[in-house]
Chain A
C-alpha cells in the first residue's frame, strides 16, 4: 500500500496515501491563544483556514522540535494539518512486521527503508484526543 513516510521526533511513522491531501512546506502558522498543546495554530491554504496539529503530542511522544513540513489530511470533521519534523517521502509499505501499542496506530510495517508505524488518521484526529 502507498503511504507517506514521516518522521516525528526520532521515530518513523506512515499515513495511508489515501488519507493525505497535500504536503505543504514553509507554512505560516497563526497560533491560537488558550488552545491545548496539541494545537499549533491555523494556516491559510488557498483561502481555507486549516488547523495544524503537533503530531508528536497527538502520538503521545511530547512536543515536536521546530518542524518543517505540514501534511494536510482529510477527516470527517474537515481538513487538518499534521506537522512533522522532516521532509516526507512517498513509500510502498509491505507486510506487517509487528503490533504497536501507541495511540491511534495500526501496527508496524516493513517499508522501503526500514520499519514504519502506520497511523490511523481518523483515530488520531478526534476532538477528544486533541482537547486532552
Chain B
C-alpha cells in the first residue's frame, strides 16, 4: 500500500504514534515497579495492538511488525506464563525507543524494513527464551536502549540531511512530545507561536483599554473606573490575560517519565537498586521554562544515581537499606516553582571538593561545608581528578547552573555526608511576566528584576572604606554606586539603597525612591539597536510611559568602570590592565596562601613580593618601597595588626595602604584592624579572586 500513502494520514499517524510510544514507555516503567499487574499488562497490550493496526493501515509494515512482536510478548505476560522481569522490560523498552527513533524516517517514506528487522529480532528472541535466557539478553539490550535515547536512528537507516533536524526534534524525549493528557479529556495540539501571538494580543488589548480609559477621563472628564462598562471590560481583560498565560503552562509530568527512565537506565547499568519517587507531578510551569530545565534535571537525576547512590553492598555495610531512593518533588510557592532532586546516597565529599579547590587555586579556608558544596557548580571544578574521584559531580554542574540561570532561576544544594544530597532548582513560573522592583533614579523610573535583589534598605546606610562609599551586608563590604549617575542621569544625593547580586559579585546602588514591586511584561528592544549592557528590555506602563528593565550584571560592570573613572569613554567595558606594574607585598605564614595570592595578583598585572611574617615584611619594606601590603592576621613573631601599626609608625613607609585578609569575621576584629590603621579588610569566607583584585585595585586607585 506504499503508493496509496496519504500524507494527511501519515501526519496523523506520526502524532498518534509519538503519543502511544511515550505512553508505552511510561507504562512499561510502571509495570516494572508493579510486577505483573494485570490491568497494566492489558493496557500495554492494547497500546501495542492499536499501534500495530494503525501502522499497517498507513502502510508502515516494518513499524507494524515490531509492534506485533511487542504485542506477542505482552500476550505471554497476559496469559500468566511469564514474569515482567527487568530484562524483558529492557527489551521492550529498547524496541519502543527504536520505533520512536525510526518514526521520522518512516514518515518521510524511507525504507525501514532493515531497521524494523533489527528491532524485531531481539523481541522474537525474547519470545522464545526462558527466564535464564532473559538475564543473558540484558547485556545487549541495555546499551542499545541507552544509544537510542540519544535520538540516533538505527544503523541500517542512513539519515539524510533533509531529515536530520526533523528527526532530532521528533525523537527527542518529552517535553517536546505532547503532554500526557488525561485519557478522558479532549485536547488540541496548538503550535506554540499561536499561543504567543494570543498572549501578545491580549497584552495589547489591555494596553488599548487603558488608553481608552485615559481618553475618557481627559475628554469627558469622567473617572473611567466609575463607569460600569469600563470596569467590566477591565475585569474581563484581566481574566483573559491570566487564562492566555495559563495556556502556555504544562504540568511537570510531561518530563517526569523521561527522568524516571534516566534513573532506571543508569541504575541498571551501574548495578544499583533505586526506587523512584515523584510528587507534585501536576505542578504547572511555563512550557519554555520547563523545556529549558529538562536537560539540567536529567543531569541531576543521572548524577544522583551514578555518583550519589552507593552500590547495594556498600549501603548495607553502612546500615542503610540496599534499595536507594531518588525523589523528584515539584511544588509551587508563590510565583516560583521549586523542583527538588533528592538522593539518600553518600552525600558530596566536601573534603575532596576542598582539596580540588585548593589545587585549582582557590582559598577555601573559612568556608562552611555548605558553601564548599556550591563549589561543585564552578566550571573549573571539572578536572579529571575531580571527575573520577569525587563522584563526577563537577562535570556539567556548571552547565546545570547556567541553564537554570538562563530562565532566571537559581540552584541550591544541601548535602550531608552519608545521608544524601538535595538539589533545589527554583525558577519563576513564567518568563513573560517578570516580578520587578520599581525604583526611581535620576528622575526616571526603572525596573530591576526581583530575583537579583539581595535587599533593599530605606535608610542611608552608607559608610566609607578605602575612600569609596560602601554598605555592609552582614560582614561583607559591598561597594555602593549611584544608580542615576551610572545611567548617565542626574545622581540622587540621598535615598534608599538596594543591594543586587550579579553572577560573581554583589553591588549596592543608591536610588531616589523605592516605588514598589510589580509584575512587568518585558519586551525586548529593537534589533536595530546595539546590545546595551545595562538594559535587559522595556515595558509599557499603564499611563503609556516606558519603563526600562535593567540588566543587573551589566549595571554592575558599568558601575565598576565608572568607579575607575572610565565613564567618560562610552563603550569601554573591559578591565584596563595597570600600565606601570604596582608592587604588592604579600604577608602570610602559610606557603600555599602566599603562593595563591601571588599567582592571583601576578595574573592581575601586579609585581609581587612575599614575606612569611610581620618581621620579615618590615625587613623587606626597609629595603624596597611597595605600593600595597596585603597581610594575614595570625602569624608568628609579628601578627598582622602589629605589622599594620609598625608600618603606620614608619617614617618613610607610613602611607603605604594595608589590606588585611583574615578568616576572622567578628566586628571587634574588623574594628581592631581599622584602628591599627588598615585601609581595607577582607574576610576569607567572602574571598575570591575577583574580590581580592577589586579590593587591591580600589586601594591603588586604578
Stretch touching chain A among B110-118, B164-172, B430-438, B537-545: B537-545
A66 at the interface (CB under 8 A from B): no
Q: For residue B484, which residue of chain A has the nearest CB?
A: A33
B487: chain A residues at CB < 8 Å are: 33-34
The reply to whether B532 and A32 form a contact with Cβ atoms under 8 Å apart is yes
A131 at the interface (CB under 8 A from B): yes
Answer whether A130 and B207 are a contact pair too, CB < 8 Å, given A32-B535, A42-B546.
no
A49 at the interface (CB under 8 A from B): yes
- A56: min CB distance to chain B, Å: 17
A42: chain B residues at CB < 8 Å are: 525-526, 538, 546
The reply to whether B204 and A77 form a contact with Cβ atoms under 8 Å apart is no
What are 21 A-B pairs with beta-carbon distances under 8 A? A28-B545, A30-B545, A30-B547, A32-B535, A33-B486, A33-B487, A34-B533, A34-B571, A35-B529, A36-B570, A39-B529, A42-B526, A43-B546, A46-B207, A47-B540, A49-B525, A51-B526, A80-B526, A127-B527, A127-B528, A127-B529
List which A17-37 residues lie within 8 A (CB) of chain B.
28, 30, 32-36
User: Interface size on A (CB < 8 Å)?
Assistant: 25
The reply to whether A47 and B204 form a contact with Cβ atoms under 8 Å apart is yes
Q: For residue A126, which residue of chain B has the nearest CB?
A: B528
A127: chain B residues at CB < 8 Å are: 527-530
The reply to whether B545 and A34 form a contact with Cβ atoms under 8 Å apart is no
A125 at the interface (CB under 8 A from B): yes
- Of A28, A34, A77, A125, the contact of B570 (CB 8 Å cutoff): A34
The reply to whether B546 and A30 form a contact with Cβ atoms under 8 Å apart is yes
Q: For residue B527, which residue of chain A has the nearest CB?
A: A77
B534 at the interface (CB under 8 A from A): yes
The reply to whether B528 and A33 form a contact with Cβ atoms under 8 Å apart is no
B528: chain A residues at CB < 8 Å are: 51, 75, 77-78, 80, 125, 127, 130
The reply to whether B529 and A51 form a contact with Cβ atoms under 8 Å apart is yes
- Of A30, A36, A75, A131, the contact of B548 (CB 8 Å cutoff): A30
B571: chain A residues at CB < 8 Å are: 34, 36
B488 at the interface (CB under 8 A from A): yes
The reply to whether B529 and A46 form a contact with Cβ atoms under 8 Å apart is no
B489 at the interface (CB under 8 A from A): yes
B208: chain A residues at CB < 8 Å are: 46-47
Instruction: Enumerate chain A interface residues (CB-CB to B < 8 A).
Output: 28, 30, 32-36, 39, 42-44, 46-47, 49-51, 75, 77-80, 125, 127, 130-131
Binary CB contact string for chain B from 509 to 534 against chain A (1 if under 8 A, 0 otherwise): 00000000000000101111110111
Chain A-chain B contacts (Cβ-Cβ < 8 Å), number: 86
Binary CB contact string for chain B from 457 to 486 against chain A (1 if under 8 A, 0 otherwise): 000000000000000000000000000001
A78: chain B residues at CB < 8 Å are: 526-528
Bound-state Cα–Cα, A130 to B528, Å: 8
B570: chain A residues at CB < 8 Å are: 34, 36
B225 at the interface (CB under 8 A from A): no
Bound-state Cα–Cα, A125 to B538, Å: 21
Bound-state Cα–Cα, A79 to B487, Å: 25
A49: chain B residues at CB < 8 Å are: 523, 525-526, 538, 540, 546
The reply to whether A34 and B532 form a contact with Cβ atoms under 8 Å apart is yes
B444 at the interface (CB under 8 A from A): yes
Bound-state Cα–Cα, A125 to B488, Å: 25
B546: chain A residues at CB < 8 Å are: 28, 30, 42-44, 49
The reply to whether A44 and B545 form a contact with Cβ atoms under 8 Å apart is yes
Bound-state Cα–Cα, A43 to B548, Å: 11
Bound-state Cα–Cα, A47 to B444, Å: 19
The reply to whether B529 and A130 form a contact with Cβ atoms under 8 Å apart is yes
Bound-state Cα–Cα, A42 to B558, Å: 21
- A75: min CB distance to chain B, Å: 7
Bound-state Cα–Cα, A33 to B567, Å: 12
B547: chain A residues at CB < 8 Å are: 30
Q: For residue B210, which residue of chain A has the nearest CB?
A: A47
Bound-state Cα–Cα, A33 to B544, Å: 20
The reply to whether B548 and A44 form a contact with Cβ atoms under 8 Å apart is no
A46: chain B residues at CB < 8 Å are: 204, 207-208, 211
